[in-house]
Amino acid sequence: MTHYPDRHILVIFGATGDLAGRKLIPALHEIEKDPTTRGRTTILGVARAGLTDDAFRDQVVAALAKHAKPEALRDWVSRCVFYQSLGDASSYAYTALRQRLESLERQLHLPGNRIFYLALPLPAFPPTVESLAGAGLNTSPGWTRLVIEKPFGRDLASARSLNALLHKHYSEASLFRLDHYLGKETVQNLIAFRFGNALWEPLWNRDRVSHVEITAAEELGVEARGSFYEQAGAVRDIIQNHLLQVLALVAMDAPAGLDGTSVSNEKLKILRSIAPLQPDDFVLGQYGAGEVDGKSLAGYRQEPGVSSTSKTETYAAVRLRINTWRWEGVPFYLRTGKRLAKKATRIAVTFRTPPATVFSPYIVCGSENNRLLITLQPNEGFNLSFQVKIPGGGMHLHTQEMRFRYAETFGALPEAYQMLLVDVMQGDHTLFVRNDEVEAAWKVAEPLLDTGREPLLYPAGSWGPTRADELLAPACHQWVNL
Ligand SMILES: NC(=O)c1ccc[n+]([C@@H]2O[C@H](COP(=O)([O-])OP(=O)(O)OC[C@H]3O[C@@H](n4cnc5c(N)ncnc54)[C@H](OP(=O)(O)O)[C@@H]3O)[C@@H](O)[C@H]2O)c1
């Protein structure tokens, strides 16, 4: 049964920023086009810049230039899009924000449901949360929900203090910690794929799985975001949140239900079962200059906004152990990096070789028979590889793949932000991250932070530092560099 969201105002803090323009506004436009969600959302953009409603509407129309003609948007933006400047972000500015919300709710006959979306730089989270509560905006005549973009803190201590501040003013049920990876169809499909099929569960354990690799590789460098990235690095930007969330979904037991509490409970068990990382369990790297397709590429330290002596890692590879009955002895390898050979986010589940084989001459390090490659992006889909005999004389084996591609069956997939925003509107927590998950993930990632290690240089366009191969070599495993 379709569940239409209640009518509400969505207040976007950081409405003039990159995330709002590239992701949130296009997602809201798609939501408006969908008959099941149309007409439910009034948008109030908020930032410090002094803009009129009309100037902000022009920004919204410009952000949608690729999606719709300006004339097709005019009616929607003039009815549903508004702007409130926060100026100096003083308590007066927040009182004015509350009055604006009340006035819009009266004018548009809205029931007083409010979503506050913090698309803000991390340092602006705590003062914004305090100021919202100070102006009484943590409650409303209807329901109030607060969406917090990652990063959720910079380390375990700051995540704990951010969670404590949030809980001072909000119940956990009104909080939505958003990790956009969880809104990707392919990530959600991990639950359907694992628990909607009887085939996988008997194989999904230490008896049948040799090792699991989760890679998020980017071809691009830091582009114009050098100064942001200097404060983040690959561990804070990708490993602590996106990759540990994907790992939890791959490794967790079947949840009692598909509600947020049941799914978070299972993910949490996995995150808490990861053995503390030792210094030889990870490799950190940084891209140097390189050449791709005859084009020279700058090294990270030469990028705008980056220190010439920066130790920020643009690459991280980690070997994890999960101390559960299901996974004891099965290494999980996580890897992410910028300026790598190919853009690809995928999970490779490699199964054990047959226990006794008549084909032993063909089994060498890294030549596993059966592998399930789940591609999260781009070219979303699966490849399942297995051995077949090559027709003709002798017994020669060939690794064959069965493949499935979403695009061929379903066409284009919806954007993660569209799915996640609708979930917030409906109050569904299944694809959001609970406070204890965030803290457990920081606990795993802490040994990788601020190590003082000099990151290993790797050439732009490569698969990262060769030292990362040594994480896998003792177990006779290899990275899937396809
Ligand atoms: N961009 C992405 O693709 C992406 C992806 C995932 C997560 N995120 C996260 O999303 C957040 C926003 O990222 P972004 O890339 O959009 O940043 P951005 O381009 O720098 O935009 C920041 C926005 O926040 C506003 N702002 C800054 N300080 C403020 C304050 N104290 N009160 C109210 N508004 C304030 C800015 O406008 P004024 O200066 O006029 O106030 C601007 O609208 C960050 O936490 C980032 O890590 C971004």
Q: Does pLDDT of 357 surpass 80?
A: no
pLDDT tens-digit series, residues 79-123: 999 999 999 999 999 999 999 999 999 999 999 999 999 999 989
Ligand 1 atom at minimum distance from 180 CA: 6
31-45, 261-275, 355-369: least confident range:
355-369
Q: Residues 445-451: contacts with CB within 8 Å, 24+ apart?
A: 445/235, 445/236, 445/239, 445/240, 445/244, 446/155, 446/156, 447/276, 447/277, 447/278, 447/279, 447/281, 447/282, 448/235, 448/239, 448/277, 448/282, 448/284, 448/316, 448/318, 449/155, 449/235, 449/236, 451/284
Tell me the average pLDDT of the chain.
94
pLDDT given at position 361: 57
Q: Does pLDDT of 362 surpass 60?
A: no
Ligand 1 center–CA 224 separation, angstroms: 14
Ligand 1: which residue has its CA nearest to atom 44?
121
Ligand 1: which residue has its CA nearest to atom 45?
121
22 and 63 Cβ atoms separated by less than 8 Å: yes
Q: What percent of the chain lies above the pLDDT cut of 90?
A: 89
Q: Is the CB of 13 under 6 A from ligand 1?
A: yes
Q: Does pLDDT of 355 surpass 80?
A: no
pLDDT tens-digit series, residues 324-341: 999 999 999 999 999 999
Model confidence band, residue 4 (pLDDT cutoffs 50, 70, 90)? confident
Ligand 1 atom at minimum distance from 127 CA: 31
Which residues are designated catalytic? 242
Q: Does pLDDT of 28 surpass 60?
A: yes
Ligand 1: which residue has its CA nearest to atom 24?
14
Average pLDDT estimate for 238-262: 96
Model confidence band, residue 262 (pLDDT cutoffs 50, 70, 90)? very high
Average pLDDT estimate for 306-324: 97
Q: Is the CB of 149 under 6 A from ligand 1?
A: yes
Helical residues (DSSP H) of 361-405, grouped into ranges: none
**Pocket test residue of 24, 48, 83, 116 for ligand 1, highest count of atoms within 8 A of CB:** 48
Ligand 1 center–CA 116 separation, angstroms: 14
Ligand 1: which residue has its CA nearest to atom 26?
14
Q: Is the CB of 241 under 6 A from ligand 1?
A: no
Q: Is the CB of 123 under 6 A from ligand 1?
A: no
144-158, 381-395, 466-480: least confident range:
381-395
Model confidence band, residue 1 (pLDDT cutoffs 50, 70, 90)? very low
Q: Is the CB of 93 under 6 A from ligand 1?
A: no
